[in-house]
């Protein structure tokens, strides 16, 4: 990792924090975990479900902290971490031979209880998301939950940047089709 490389302003984890964690600083590792665990967990829950997501989240961090010296710093740390999480989830799905996803819990933007209509919309969306291919669900999660750019998603998913846009569009079309079919 190049310590002189400037980290993007929107990154949660600085190069200095990664260096400290790679050197064995437990407080730095804890800080990385605290800054990124919610996003990693949401990605995993969307791909494999809540219970497996909890277990896999721990595996992701064990693997990440074991491989920290391999982080080159050419992308945001979060992108590298999402790639580890995605790979763990896909390996889990292959082992289980399960090709359905379970969506994240819908978090209201306010502290008030969601209305019945909001709950119904969330349930419909969750049902449609469960029917998507895990690769498409991953792309949506990285874009919508993680707020990653196309370039960052490409790095995390291990696909060309141009493919990100086409898969995101495909995922959105399939979701729309599933939601329309439910309305009939």
pLDDT at 182 over 50: yes
51-69 confidence digits (pLDDT tens): 888 889 999 999 999 999 8
CB contact set of 172 (below 8 Å; sequence gap of 6+): 140
Helix axes 50-66, 77-96, angle to 10 degrees: 130
Please give the tally of structural domains in the chain. Answer: 1
Alpha carbon distance 89, 81 (integer Å): 12
Whether 143 is in a domain gets the answer yes
pLDDT at 110 over 60: no
Whether 165 is in a domain gets the answer yes
> What CATH number does residue 19 fall under?
1.10.1740.10
Whether 65 is in a domain gets the answer yes
Whether 117 is in a domain gets the answer yes
Whether 88 is in a domain gets the answer yes
* C-alpha dihedral, 47 to 164 to 145 to 50, nearest 10°: 0
Q: Which residue reads 């995922």 in tokens? A: 171
Whether 133 is in a domain gets the answer yes
Q: Over range 75-87, report the average pLDDT.
A: 90
Whether 10 is in a domain gets the answer no
Entry pTM: 0.60
Q: Over range 100-128, report the average pLDDT.
A: 65
Confidence of residue 181 (pLDDT cuts 50, 70, 90): confident
State the residue range of the domain holding 144. Answer: 15-103+110-183
| H or E element that contains 44 | helix 26-48
Query: What percent of the chain lies above the pLDDT cut of 70?
Result: 84
Whether 9 is in a domain gets the answer no
């Amino acid at each position: 990792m190049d310590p002189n490389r400037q980290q993007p302003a929107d990154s949660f984890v600085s190069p200095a924090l990664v260096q400290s964690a790679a050197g064995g600083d437990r407080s730095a590792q804890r800080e990385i975990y605290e800054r990124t665990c919610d996003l990693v967990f949401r990605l995993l829950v969307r791909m494999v479900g809540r219970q497996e997501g909890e277990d896999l989240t721990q595996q992701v961090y064990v693997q990440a902290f074991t491989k920290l010296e391999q982080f080159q710093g050419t992308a945001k740390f979060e992108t590298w971490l999402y790639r580890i999480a995605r790979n763990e989830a896909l390996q889990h799905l292959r082992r289980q031979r399960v090709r359905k996803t379970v969506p994240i819990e819908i978090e209201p933007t306010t502290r008030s209880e969601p209305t019945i209509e909001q709950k119904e919309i969330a349930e419909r969306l969750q049902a449609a998301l469960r029917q998507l291919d895990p690769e498409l669900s991953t792309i949506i999660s990285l874009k919508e939950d993680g707020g990653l750019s196309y370039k960052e998603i490409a790095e995390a998913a291990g696909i060309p940047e141009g493919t990100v846009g086409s898969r995101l569009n495909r995922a959105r079309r399939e979701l729309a089709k599933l939601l329309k079919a439910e309305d009939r």
